[in-house]
Structure 1
Amino acid sequence: MTVTAHSTDRIAPAQRAGHWNTVIADTYFPLQLTFRDAATFQGHLERREIGPVSVSRLRTEPMQYERRPRHISGASDEEYLITIPRRSPVEFRQLGRDVRCDPGGFLLERGDEPYKFSYGAPNDLCVLKVSKPVLCEKLRHPDRFCAKVFDGSTGVGGLFTMYAQNIFPQAPPDSKSAQVLGRQLIELLALSLDAQSDADDGVRSSVRAAHLRRAEDMIRASLSNPALSPEMVSDACGISKRYLHELFSGANVTVSQYIREQRLIAARNILELPNPPPIAEIAYRYGFSDQAQFSRLFKAMFGQTPSGYRARHEGGFRKSA
């Protein structure tokens, strides 16, 4: 798991703008860059893939980045950037909102919507790139958190930003550890956003949010229980079955769908380990009595059969070894 590094130090002045446009597009996605002085511009960027998350450190002079409709029209993947400014404030505009994020905070940017991002003084940014499917595994409707500033100095938010900034230089090189660390980083991000969203009247009430999180936690802790059902969840959480369905309806998913998705995610995580158990055993462990049904649902969610997914990761382990 090597670090990919880029710098303008050895790039001729006339070629710096074009070079940096390519670097930014390859690291994040295509953007329109505006330089204060392209000929004298200096920039440094290091990137490391940590499981499902790309973590980068970006240090440049004042810059403006724009995601325009022409950049989005041909994009096939939906991705998010999470930016933590370390040296100076950043200005961000998206979805009709204008926000300023100072060091000590962080913000989310949707890659499938136009935006403008800038800073008027030299900056040092920690930037995470996460695909929408990966983020949605831990966070329902992440779009509602975009173009808002979150506290990254205290509580879970502080833990997330500290972890994100420290994981870059200290992440171990093996793929197995990277998968675990990357998922932990996403878990911290989701916990931080959920905790801070309770105070936002435009999201959901803190009581409903707490009930939903409790139900989700109970489901994830009981995935191997063949008796897991909406009735079991409502009884364990001390709420009615009808109210439970209302909670998940607000997240645009049924309780049964959520249980199935979490079981498939847990099965996928087992397949990512070296020397995983037989596929039939994994299927039965997570409540799938029919291996053919398990394979069909797995492929529908992840785009590969369980055996194909296992083979791809086994090849990765052999390569890293």
Structure 2
Amino acid sequence: MAPDVPEGNSAGSFHTTDALPEQHRREYWRGALSRVLGTVSLTVPDEGYSGMIASTPLGRLQAVTVEGDGLSAVRTRRHIRQDGLDEHVVVKMLDRGVGRLEQDGRTAMLGPGDIFVYDMGRPLRLILPQAFRAKSLVIPRDVLGLTEPEIARVTAHPLGPDSFLGALVSPFLAGLVDGAGSYPPRTGELMARNVVDLLGVLAEEVLEKAVEENPDGSRALLLRIQAFIDRHLADPDLTPQVIARAHHISLRYLHKLFQSTDATVGRWIQRRRLEECRRDLALHGNATIAAVAHRWGFTSAAHFSRVFRAAYGMAPREWRGAQETASGGASPAELVDA
């Protein structure tokens, strides 16, 4: 949950119950969590509670370590309205202990080494029933670069340390949080950018897993991507890499989605461009072949002619002539389907 540290405060903050009499610890801990982690309804075990919170800026991110004897935290819509921290997303690794996270209609059971995501802008419940240590990166939503629906699909989907990506991200995140206060400012900013890139991959992995577990979701995503392709056909820079990045999925997963069609991603783009070019050749008899090709994203008229011939068995000019001869006085609309 987003640390309440003023922007540009390089000192961060530190809170511990160690020096307090036992009878004051629970109340102090509640106040410290509210100041550092945002407004929640908090339950802790007893008066002798022991805990520590350390928060350090890392560029626009915050690195946070929390240790405690256990707690239950509930964040409601009322809390969200109170503190204005709804524009932050938290990526957390449970370094020690077990827990349960509830958000967006899902419940995630958590164990040591698990990485998970929650959104400060929506209600949540986090229960850590025993002694724990957690290391977090608090990221402004605009830095992470995910849309609201995408964040909602990522929350409460833990990534275990036994997975390839989890094994890679867990030690990196832990080391980054532990060393956050020791980096020179420029180094901290560069590492923050690198970790955001890694977390983007993490989010992508979770999104892919969620979609793969829901065949209807895969089909809906494919249709959305095909519609995106149609909207950007005229862009000569439309590539599989651009498409994957726009939908926050990996290039590998994009190609996997298109395995259900009879074409690769590149072939699908080319096919749709050729179909639109063929339509324009029939509708716009005065347009040059090069103008039609360029309108639909072909940068070379010669290349367009070659792929058109390969697809339809004749050059664009020959095809246009054949349509005009066959149609006689037919209208342009009738020519389109010829």
Question: Is 1:59 equivalent to 2:67 in the alignment?
Answer: yes
Q: Of 224, 232, 235, which residue of structure 2 is paired with 1:230?
A: 235
Preserved contact between residue 108 and residue 146 of structure 1 (Cα < 8 Å): yes
Q: Of 31, 34, 37, which residue of structure 1 is paired with 2:43?
A: 34
The residue aligned with 1:68 is: 76
Task: Count how many residue pairs are aligned between Structure 1 and Structure 2.
Answer: 227
Q: Where in structure 2 are the equivalents of 1:104-183 lying within 5 Å?
A: 104-136=113-145, 141-171=150-180, 172-183=182-193
Preserved contact between residue 49 and residue 55 of structure 1 (Cα < 8 Å): yes
Q: Which runs of 5+ in 2 are unaligned?
A: 1-9, 229-233, 242-264, 274-338
Query: How many Å separate the matches in 1 of 2:239 and 2:184?
Result: 41
Q: Deviations over 1:202-246 (max 9, x none)?
A: 49549x78x98xx9xxxxxxxxxxxxx8322249873528989xx
Q: Where in structure 2 are the equivalents of 1:95-110 lying within 5 Å?
A: 95-110=104-119
Q: Following TM superposition, by how much is the alpha carbon of 1:160 offset from its aligned partner in structure 2, in angstroms?
A: 1.5
Q: Of 20, 27, 30, which residue of structure 2 is paired with 1:21?
A: 30
Taking structure 2 as the reference length, the TM-score comes to 0.59
Query: How many Å separate the matches in 2 of 1:133 and 1:26?
Result: 23
Taking structure 1 as the reference length, the TM-score comes to 0.62
Q: Give the partner amino acid of 2:52.
A: H
Query: How many Å separate the matches in 2 of 1:141 and 1:18?
Result: 37
Q: Give the partner amino acid of 1:240.
A: I
Larger radius of gyration: 2
Question: For structure 1, which segment, 171-180 or 127-136, has the greater mean C-alpha deviation from structure 2 after superposition?
Answer: 171-180
Structure 1 230/205 Cα, relative in aligned 2: closer, same or farther at 3 Å? farther
Query: How many Å separate the matches in 2 of 1:22 and 1:134?
Result: 29
Q: Of 173, 194, 197, which residue of structure 1 is paired with 2:207?
A: 197
Q: Following TM superposition, by how much is the alpha carbon of 1:167 offset from its aligned partner in structure 2, in angstroms?
A: 1.2
Superposition CA RMSD, Å:
3.2
Query: How many Å separate the matches in 2 of 1:241 and 1:139?
Result: 32
Structure 1 100/176 Cα, relative in aligned 2: closer, same or farther at 3 Å? same
Question: Is 1:43 equivalent to 2:51 in the alignment?
Answer: yes
Q: Following TM superposition, by how much is the alpha carbon of 1:191 offset from its aligned partner in structure 2, in angstroms?
A: 0.6
Preserved contact between residue 76 and residue 123 of structure 2 (Cα < 8 Å): yes
Preserved contact between residue 157 and residue 189 of structure 1 (Cα < 8 Å): no
Structure 1 241/9 Cα, relative in aligned 2: closer, same or farther at 3 Å? farther
Q: Give the partner amino acid of 1:231.
A: P
Q: Give the partner amino acid of 1:121.
A: Q
Q: Which runs of 5+ in 1 are unaligned?
A: 216-228, 245-321
Q: Deviations over 1:86-137 (max 9, x none)?
A: 1111111122222201112111111121111112210111122111111126
Q: Of 248, 258, 269, which residue of structure 2 is paired with 1:240?
A: 269
